[in-house]
Each structure stands twice: as structure tokens, then as C-alpha cells.
Amino acid sequence: MRQLQPDTLIKNPQGKPLVSSVVTACSAANLWRVVGRFEGFDAFIPALARITMTGSGVGSLRKKRFHDGNIVVEQLNSYDALAMHMTWTTIYNTLGVARLWAAMSVESLGENLARATWTIIAEPLDAGDKEGFEHFIQGFADSALDNVRRLLG
């Protein structure tokens, strides 16, 4: 009998990063208070019905329930409040995403000007519609950050 060995289903996605960013007329700290809350993305993503957290800090899990019934579970990989950046990985979803890694960062552009950047690398379950999938992911991130701009503008 073969001895069992450590294994995992979590693998980093391959592909080109999809990047969305928004510049807001507020301080970087104020912008980070909105986009830097792993548990608070429902503040700028209206499609989210509810977010529940398991644990806190790096390693915690975020379960996002969408109004349309879809579910996404993500793990917080890194978080640095001082540097204003975090990364996470999708570990389960009903959206047709095979693998997804994302990062959110905020940088100061001046006293009352800041930029949030959301970087996503993702692979679809259906490799035959990669272009449509990338369009969906890009549109989702762009719309969310446009909501951030409206909230803080």
C-alpha cells in the first residue's frame, strides 16, 4: 500500500494580471478604511448580500453570499495596514472560477489624493471562454472601484 503524502488543491493561478484602479479625492488612510477591510467589501460591491468571517487576520476566511445566490469563500494570505496592502485566494466558489488570487493596495498621491489598485490573476473553469471570463472579472473590479470613487467623492 502506498503511503499518503501531503497534498493540496490550492494552487496559484497562471495568467496575466487584470488590474483596476481608482483615484479618489481623499487621504490614503480614508481610502484604505474602505478597501482595506477584508470583511467589508459589501460597502462597495452592491451585489453582495452578506459577508461572514471565520477567524481574523491572516489565514481568516471570508464567505461572500451574493444576491443572485452565488457563494465565494476566500482566505486572507497577507495583510499590512501600515503599507496598506493585502492579498487573498479564492478557495471555493460557484462563479465558474478555477483559481483566483487577488491583491488590494492603496498609495498616497498627495495630501487629499490617493489611488486604490485591485490586481486579480484568475483562471476560468471553462478554458474555452477565457476572453469572456477576463471581461467579466475586469468589469466586476472596475465597477466595484467606481463605487468606491462615488462613496468617497
Set out the domains of the chain in order of their start, with CATH numbers. 18-152 (3.30.530.20)
pLDDT tens-digit series, residues 108-134: 999 999 999 999 999 999 888 888 999
pLDDT of residue 127: 83
Give the Cα separation of 34 and 41 in Å (integer).
8
Record the pTM.
0.94
Is-contact 124 137, C-beta < 8 A?
Answer: no
Indicate the helix (H) or strand (E) that contains 131.
helix 130-152
Reference 121, options 103, 142, 147; nearest CA is 103
pLDDT tens-digit series, residues 13-57: 998 999 999 999 999 999 999 999 999 999 999 999 999 999 999
Give the Cα separation of 22 and 5 in Å (integer).
45
